[in-house]
Structure 1
Amino acid sequence: MAGTVHRRGLDAQGYIEREGSLGRVPPAFRPVVAAARDRLLDVYGGRLNSAYLYGSIPRGTARVGRSDLDLLVVTRQEPTEEDRDAARSLGEALDKEFPEIDGVGTLLYGRARLLSEPETYDLGWFVACLCTPLLGEDLAEDLPRYRPDSLLARETNGDLALLLPRWRDRIAAAGDTDGARRPLVRFMSRHLVRTGFTLVMPRWNGWTSDLGEMAEAFAAYYPERAEALRGAAELGHEPTGDADVLRSYVDELGPWLAEEYARVHGVKASRPAD
Structure 2
Amino acid sequence: MTERRPGLDAQGFLAREGSLPRVPPVFHPVVAAARDRLPDVFGARLHSAYLYGSLPRGTARVGRSDLDLLVALHEEPTEADRHSARALGEALDKEYPQIDGVGTLLYGRARLLSDLERHDLGWFVACLCTPLLGEDLAGHLPRYRPDSLLARETNGDLALLLARWRTRIAETEDTDAARLPLVRYMSRHLVRTAFTLVMPRWNGWTSDLREMAEAFAAYYPARADQLRAAAVRGYEPTGDAGVLRAYVDDLGPWLAQEYARVHGVKARRPD
Structure-1-length-normalised TM-score: 0.97
Match of 1:74 in 2: 72
Match of 2:7 in 1: 9
1:157-182 deviations in whole A, cap 9, x for unaligned?
00000000111111111111222111
Match of 2:269 in 1: 271
Q: Structure 1 stretch 92-101 or stretch 52-61: which is displaced more?
A: 92-101
Q: Give the superposition deviation at 1:4.
A: 6.3
Match of 1:85 in 2: 83
Instruction: Pick one of 147, 150, 169 that aligns with 2:148.
Output: 150
8 A contact 2:4–2:12 mirrored in 1:
no
Deviation >4 Å, runs of 4+: none
- In 1, the alpha carbon distance for the partners of 2:89 and 2:168 equals 21
Q: Give the superposition deviation at 1:6.
A: 3.2
- Matching of residue 19 in structure 1 with residue 24 in structure 2: no
- In 2, the alpha carbon distance for the partners of 1:239 and 1:101 equals 18
- Matching of residue 167 in structure 1 with residue 197 in structure 2: no
| 1:16-55 aligned within 5 A | 16-55=14-53
- In 2, the alpha carbon distance for the partners of 1:213 and 1:99 equals 29
1:211-267 deviations in whole A, cap 9, x for unaligned?
010000000000000000000100000111111111111111100100000000000
Describe the SS at the equivalent of 1:82: helix
Match of 1:62 in 2: 60
Match of 2:213 in 1: 215
8 A contact 2:122–2:141 mirrored in 1:
yes
Instruction: Pick one of 106, 109, 129 that aligns with 1:108.
Output: 106
1:10-62 deviations in whole A, cap 9, x for unaligned?
01110000010000000111111111111111101111001000000000000
Letter in 1 for 2:54: S
- In 2, the alpha carbon distance for the partners of 1:7 and 1:217 equals 10
User: CA RMSD of the aligned region, Å?
Assistant: 1.0
Match of 2:195 in 1: 197
8 A contact 1:193–1:232 mirrored in 2:
yes
- In 1, the alpha carbon distance for the partners of 2:132 and 2:146 equals 25
8 A contact 1:53–1:131 mirrored in 2:
yes
- In 1, the alpha carbon distance for the partners of 2:82 and 2:37 equals 15
Structure-2-length-normalised TM-score: 0.98
1:110-165 deviations in whole A, cap 9, x for unaligned?
00000000000000000000000001110000000000000000000000000001
Instruction: Pick one of 128, 137, 140 that aligns with 1:139.
Output: 137
- In 2, the alpha carbon distance for the partners of 1:96 and 1:244 equals 33
Letter in 2 for 1:262: A
Please, which runs of 5 or more residues in structure 2 have no aligned partner?
none
- In 2, the alpha carbon distance for the partners of 1:178 and 1:31 equals 33
- In 2, the alpha carbon distance for the partners of 1:266 and 1:13 equals 27
Letter in 2 for 1:136: G
Match of 1:257 in 2: 255
% identity of equivalent residues: 80
1:38-89 deviations in whole A, cap 9, x for unaligned?
1111101111001000000000000101111110011100000000011111
8 A contact 1:79–1:110 mirrored in 2:
yes
Q: Give the superposition deviation at 1:94.
A: 1.1
8 A contact 1:7–1:14 mirrored in 2:
no
Please, which runs of 5 or more residues in structure 1 have no aligned partner?
none
